[in-house]
């Protein structure tokens, strides 16, 4: 695991966008796994800037989103479909037919989940998966107790997640109770994972994910088993890390090696 500690949200967003741009540079038809929530919004803004000012080209990129609420149609302003178009897709040159987001309002959700898994495989698997983290340590909607080998499926959201996400809705009662999410097995198969976190409300989840035991209770801890996981966090989110000095030192040493 590579842990990169940066000053603040702005720098986290910039560094994350650089990773994405670098991977698209190396593989223009990159299969990019995407997340919603407030965390990646700054990175999406930076990617839009890179597209407009530096010609970052998304024309061959294919994208798969991690999750979607069940019961919200794709044009609902709080759906992740709407969010992704508003925050990223409408402002870059990704082709609509290359965008995949789980469909939350289908009658037979199980068929939709299986279709999503099949589609990821058909497109060659995810090259780079972007992840945020919930206060309870979740990634995607993989709440505590999720099987570490799980696939795309419906999950019941925890009270904590519902409360956290209520800020996007007019009333708490409007937050859907279920989500459709890539599983932890699905996420683990991504060739590379990039997890972002900012702010003091993520401090505990970050410490447990990076330095605690790998456990279904903190599903982000699964990244400890991933051969290529990068974690970019700001000062606030890194506050409780016991090995903080060592992570900084390794980053400095890695930069030195890169310069050689
Ligand atoms: C959303 C997702 C979630 C969020 C997490 C953090 O697609 O996968 O796991 O990343 O709930 O949300 P924010 O960034 O709003 O704190």
What pLDDT, in 10s, does the model give residues 115-163? 999 999 999 999 999 999 999 999 999 999 999 999 999 999 999 999 9
CA of 98 to the centre of ligand 1 (A): 22
pTM for the model: 0.96
SS3 sequence of 34-91: ECCCCCCHHHHHHHHHHHHHHCCCCCCCEEEECEEECCCCCCCCCCHHHHHHHHCHHH
Which of 33, 36, 232, 236, when mutated, tests ligand 1's pocket best, judged by the most ligand atoms within 8 Å of its CB?
36
The whole-number pLDDT of residue 106 equals 66
Residues with CB under 6 A from ligand 1: 35-39, 66-67, 132-134, 138-140
The number of the ligand 1 atom at minimal distance from the alpha carbon of 202 is 16
The whole-chain average pLDDT of the chain stands at 96
Q: What is the pLDDT of residues 199-224, one digit of tens each?
A: 999 999 999 999 999 999 999 999 99
Between residues 119 and 168, which one has the greater pLDDT? Answer: 119
The number of the ligand 1 atom at minimal distance from the alpha carbon of 39 is 14
The whole-number pLDDT of residue 202 equals 98
Distance of alpha carbon 207 from alpha carbon 221, whole angstroms: 10
Distance of alpha carbon 17 from alpha carbon 4, whole angstroms: 14
Beta bridge partners of 196: 232
pLDDT at 45 over 80: yes
- Report the range of poorest mean pLDDT among 102-106, 122-126, 143-147, 183-187: 102-106
Domain 7-198 has CATH 3.40.50.1360: yes
């Amino acid at each position: 695991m590579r842990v990169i500690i940066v000053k603040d949200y702005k720098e986290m967003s910039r560094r994350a966008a650089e990773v994405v741009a670098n991977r698209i540079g190396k593989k223009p038809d990159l299969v990019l796994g995407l997340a919603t929530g407030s965390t990646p919004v700054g990175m999406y803004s930076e990617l839009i800037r890179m597209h407009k000012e530096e010609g970052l080209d998304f024309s061959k990129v294919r994208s798969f989103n991690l999750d979607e609420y069940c019961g919200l149609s794709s044009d609902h302003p709080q759906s992740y479909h709407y969010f992704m178009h508003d925050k990223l897709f409408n402002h870059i040159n990704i082709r609509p037919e290359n965008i995949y987001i789980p469909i939350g309002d289908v009658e037979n959700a199980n068929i939709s989940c299986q279709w999503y898994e099949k589609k990821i495989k058909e497109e060659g698997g995810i090259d780079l998966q972007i992840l945020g983290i919930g206060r309870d340590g979740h990634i995607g909607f993989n709440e505590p107790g999720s099987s570490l080998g799980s696939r795309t499926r419906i999950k019941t959201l925890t009270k904590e997640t519902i409360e956290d996400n209520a800020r996007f809705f007019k009333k708490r009662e409007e937050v859907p109770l279920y989500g459709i999410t890539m599983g932890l097995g699905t996420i683990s198969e991504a060739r590379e994972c990039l997890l972002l976190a900012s702010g003091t409300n993520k401090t505990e989840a970050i410490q447990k994910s990076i330095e605690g035991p790998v456990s279904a209770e903190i599903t982000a801890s699964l990244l400890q088993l991933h051969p290529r996981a990068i974690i970019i966090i700001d000062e606030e989110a890194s506050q409780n890390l016991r090995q903080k000095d060592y992570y900084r030192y390794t980053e400095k040493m890695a930069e030195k090696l890169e310069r050689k």
